[in-house]
Chain A
């Protein structure tokens, strides 16, 4: 993803996970859908829920709660799948992200965004683009391209596989 493009748009879609407000730059966002029937793909990391059918295309969906090590939770009427186009391994892929609720599209000026604090964050700093502030509330802005960092995914799969290897053929 090129940076000039990112810099030129300062609109963000905010969404909720538990009590915390997150945001993603609108340039990633394709659409927001309700909860769809998910087909679990075996032997993949837990946080990847599976695949859904988005108008004839098979799109993987990740559970943002599990991704951020929050406890899993039943989906509610507010739950939504944010369909995004992100870069994975330098190629665009379409993915969905399951969140507790979608709020609104906000404009956050660049100078209102601060560097993430080095410590005290539950989420790895790598995926955080910055911390926006609005009406005394903090909004964690995510770098969606880092959501599926290839190395991260590979490691997760390997762990998962190793764990399963012994049980598979019994």
Chain B
């Protein structure tokens, strides 16, 4: 195997294994809630088995052997020999972390101790059963066969003391005589256990001239009828089972076939291992809809290319409008439709359900529950909601901060909850839902809620706001997003240092999203993140003011009408009355300080952002425009009112209005 191939294998394994590990974690946490669920146990077993098999194939021998030990444990669990306990889940989760470490930093010896402690813990759990586990991998095809239970449990023994017929295929190692063992003695021993019928196979005996009298060439097929259990049978062969080909099966029994191969030949085991791993993979594939794995770089590249195509198409459209060439217009329109469809489909490729991200937090909540001695359950709703993968990646950290805040500040300690008449188990709900071109993600807890007075006092004390400041309720809640702000009395490892919420805000801002807080003292807090579905390409409305072009995200546009600027509207400063309600508006010409005189008839574009309507007065509405969003870059990061840029058909740059920010600015008193 050349190195490049090896590296490719390893990379594929890393990816596969990371996926399996996260699935494993989810299964483990589910198992903790439903310890009896045999399907989950099997799933966990399969996951471990796949890691073991693929790991060995990809050269991750440390992972493979470590997972092998874990697999043995879960085989015991699967066979009802080991109960599912919180402790077991704890260690398995840790073991999962360990595998992940091995995966990302192969060859590190520093972690070895960690791995060893986990193995020791495993051994402690299993007690005497564990050493037996060495030969478990060969038994994995069997499902819960009671005779096997009798291996270790004397209680089971009585239950099963009925006559059974065992079929024993026995081929001793050739060198058995050299060890001073006579196979006939063993058959005699079996005879003592019950009635036997024995057939010897002599076909392997070579011609007389070739016989080595010191070797054994004979094998036996023995049918034994006995009331003894399998263990007793195996005891007969105990000294040579490692080298013999020994096959014991139950012939006449209501229970399924029992087929223990005591074959210890490593080659044989390897073959069997790979064999069964193949068998395991096939059903797993059929569980999921057919899909292929594509690196995200390729996807990003595709999105960029579609972006370029859209810009080119816009140029073509422009040329076709300017030049009356027969047929060109039709072709241009066809291409426009195709690119729109292509864009939509390409963007869909990048959409992934948020459930995977949500599921990762089960572990976080579980760990924090232990750490903080608070009993908290995490419930997730709307896991099917899809978001652009690139946005999803950014969401993880803010959600971690929010959940930590819920756990640390929100949910009260159990006694306190009890006194307040709440259930001792706190609950955190993660909920995702669509809202137009946005996704709403709610993080809510049923904790103590926020204390307005305390928030304000803390802000004054920290010098974030002056003492006499009169702030509205919303403004006070917004204080928690100020850097250095924290009301937690004590500093814990989790929160209280006043970092976190400002980071949350910064990330959400950078995604063009927004944050809303609602809280009720004693009842709990809900923090809602509003995130755009995608950041790469949007539908926009192209508008013009003077010689400048701007894009308003079409998702925010509610209506357009001609604005005459005369007194048909009851105009008062920058508010006009529209069908009986007041509409604040911004004149983009004034706002952006654009020189020149407005045309006689201006247009009003009405946008709706989080329930509030804002109008924009523009010179002209040019029409719908597929907008490939380009970042203005870090130089402009403090810029207010502009969220990005796009490239128009003529190659110039148009700016995209940040309707959210502009709405906030417009709502401020003039």
- List the interface of chain A (C-beta within 8 A of B): 37, 39-44, 48, 50-53, 56-60, 88-89, 91, 93-95, 148, 153-154, 157, 164, 167-170
Docked CA distance A95–B633 (Å) = 9
Assuming the A-B contacts A53-B647, A168-B590, are A157 and B635 also in contact, with contact meaning beta carbons closer than 8 angstroms in the complex?
no
User: Is A95 touching B635 in the complex (CB atoms < 8 A)?
Assistant: yes
Docked CA distance A2–B642 (Å) = 33
Q: Kindly list 15 other residue pairs between chains A and B, CB separation below 8 angstroms, not including A39-B549, A169-B590.
A: A37-B651, A37-B652, A39-B655, A43-B641, A51-B632, A51-B655, A56-B311, A59-B633, A60-B635, A93-B633, A94-B633, A154-B638, A164-B593, A168-B665, A169-B574
Assuming the A-B contacts A37-B651, A42-B593, are A58 and B630 also in contact, with contact meaning beta carbons closer than 8 angstroms in the complex?
yes
Residues from 583 to 605 in B contacting A, C-beta threshold 8 Å? 586, 590-594
Q: Taking chain B's interface residues, is the majority helix, strand, or loop, or is none over half, making it mixed? A: mixed
Contact of B666 with A by CB under 8 A:
yes
Assuming the A-B contacts A43-B640, A93-B633, are A51 and B653 also in contact, with contact meaning beta carbons closer than 8 angstroms in the complex?
yes
Contact of B189 with A by CB under 8 A:
no
Residues of B close to A37: CB separation below 8 A: 651-652
Docked CA distance A42–B641 (Å) = 9
User: Is A170 touching B670 in the complex (CB atoms < 8 A)?
Assistant: yes
Residues of A close to B642: CB separation below 8 A: 41-42
Contact of B636 with A by CB under 8 A:
yes
User: Is A60 touching B633 in the complex (CB atoms < 8 A)?
Assistant: yes
Docked CA distance A40–B655 (Å) = 9
Contact of B548 with A by CB under 8 A:
yes
Q: Which residue of B lies closest to A50 (CB)?
A: B653
Contact of B298 with A by CB under 8 A:
no
Docked CA distance A48–B647 (Å) = 19
Residues of A close to B594: CB separation below 8 A: 42
Residues of A close to B655: CB separation below 8 A: 39, 41-42, 51
Residues from 307 to 324 in B contacting A, C-beta threshold 8 Å? 307-308, 311
Contact of B654 with A by CB under 8 A:
yes
> What are 16 contact pairs spanning A and B, CB under 8 A?
A37-B652, A39-B653, A40-B548, A42-B593, A50-B653, A51-B632, A53-B652, A56-B311, A56-B647, A58-B630, A95-B635, A153-B635, A153-B638, A167-B593, A169-B586, A169-B590
- List the interface of chain B (C-beta within 8 A of A): 307-308, 311, 548-549, 573-574, 586, 590-594, 630-636, 638-642, 645, 647, 651-655, 665-666, 670
Assuming the A-B contacts A60-B635, A95-B635, are A43 and B592 also in contact, with contact meaning beta carbons closer than 8 angstroms in the complex?
yes
Docked CA distance A142–B655 (Å) = 31
Chain B CB within 10 A, most for which of A40, A93, A167: A40
Docked CA distance A89–B637 (Å) = 11
Residues of A close to B638: CB separation below 8 A: 153-154, 157
User: Is A58 touching B632 in the complex (CB atoms < 8 A)?
Assistant: yes
Nearest-neighbour CB distance to chain B for A30, whole angstroms, equals 14
User: Is B308 touching A58 in the complex (CB atoms < 8 A)?
Assistant: no
Among A56, A57, A93, A169, which residue has its beta carbon within 8 angstroms of that of B635?
A93
Residues of A close to B592: CB separation below 8 A: 42-43
Docked CA distance A7–B670 (Å) = 54
Nearest-neighbour CB distance to chain B for A58, whole angstroms, equals 4
Residues of B close to A148: CB separation below 8 A: 635
CB-CB nearest 3 A-B residue pairs: A42-B592, A39-B653, A169-B670
Residues of B close to A53: CB separation below 8 A: 647, 651-653
Docked CA distance A125–B652 (Å) = 36
Residues of B close to A164: CB separation below 8 A: 593
Residues of B close to A43: CB separation below 8 A: 592-593, 639-641
Docked CA distance A42–B545 (Å) = 13
User: Is A39 touching B574 in the complex (CB atoms < 8 A)?
Assistant: no
Residues of B close to A93: CB separation below 8 A: 633-635
User: Is B635 touching A48 in the complex (CB atoms < 8 A)?
Assistant: yes
User: Is A41 touching B632 in the complex (CB atoms < 8 A)?
Assistant: yes
Q: Which residue of B lies closest to A157 (CB)?
A: B638
Q: Which residue of B lies closest to A168 (CB)?
A: B591
Q: Which residue of B lies closest to A40 (CB)?
A: B548
Docked CA distance A6–B312 (Å) = 39
Among A44, A94, A169, which residue has its beta carbon within 8 angstroms of that of B639?
A44
User: Is A60 touching B636 in the complex (CB atoms < 8 A)?
Assistant: yes
Residues of A close to B652: CB separation below 8 A: 37, 39, 53
Q: Which residue of A lies closest to B591 (CB)?
A: A168
Residues of A close to B634: CB separation below 8 A: 88-89, 91, 93
Among B308, B632, B633, B639, which residue has its beta carbon within 8 angstroms of that of A56?
B308
Nearest-neighbour CB distance to chain A for B482, whole angstroms, equals 18
Among A58, A88, A157, which residue has its beta carbon within 8 angstroms of that of B647?
A58
Residues of A close to B308: CB separation below 8 A: 56
Docked CA distance A118–B552 (Å) = 50
Residues of A close to B647: CB separation below 8 A: 53, 56, 58
Among A51, A168, A170, which residue has its beta carbon within 8 angstroms of that of B645?
A51
Residues of A close to B307: CB separation below 8 A: 56
Docked CA distance A31–B594 (Å) = 31
Residues of A close to B548: CB separation below 8 A: 39-40
Residues of B close to A48: CB separation below 8 A: 635
Q: Which residue of A lies closest to B646 (CB)?
A: A58
Docked CA distance A58–B631 (Å) = 7
Assuming the A-B contacts A51-B645, A58-B632, are A41 and B639 also in contact, with contact meaning beta carbons closer than 8 angstroms in the complex?
yes
User: Is B593 touching A60 in the complex (CB atoms < 8 A)?
Assistant: no
Q: Which residue of B lies closest to A169 (CB)?
A: B670
Nearest-neighbour CB distance to chain A for B36, whole angstroms, equals 53
Q: Which residue of B lies closest to A48 (CB)?
A: B635
Residues of B close to A40: CB separation below 8 A: 548
Docked CA distance A164–B590 (Å) = 11
Chain A CB within 10 A, most for which of B549, B636, B651, B653: B653
Residues of B close to A153: CB separation below 8 A: 635, 638
Docked CA distance A39–B651 (Å) = 11
Residues of A close to B654: CB separation below 8 A: 39
Residues of A close to B666: CB separation below 8 A: 169
Docked CA distance A42–B654 (Å) = 12
Q: Which residue of A lies closest to B666 (CB)?
A: A169
Docked CA distance A1–B163 (Å) = 83
Docked CA distance A48–B666 (Å) = 25
Q: Which residue of A lies closest to B652 (CB)?
A: A37
Docked CA distance A24–B433 (Å) = 52
Nearest-neighbour CB distance to chain A for B224, whole angstroms, equals 77
Docked CA distance A157–B638 (Å) = 8
Nearest-neighbour CB distance to chain A for B663, whole angstroms, equals 13
Docked CA distance A6–B652 (Å) = 34
Docked CA distance A33–B117 (Å) = 63
Residues of A close to B633: CB separation below 8 A: 58-60, 93-94
User: Is B645 touching A58 in the complex (CB atoms < 8 A)?
Assistant: yes
Docked CA distance A88–B639 (Å) = 16
Q: Which residue of B lies closest to A158 (CB)?
A: B638
Docked CA distance A6–B562 (Å) = 58
Nearest-neighbour CB distance to chain A for B589, whole angstroms, equals 11
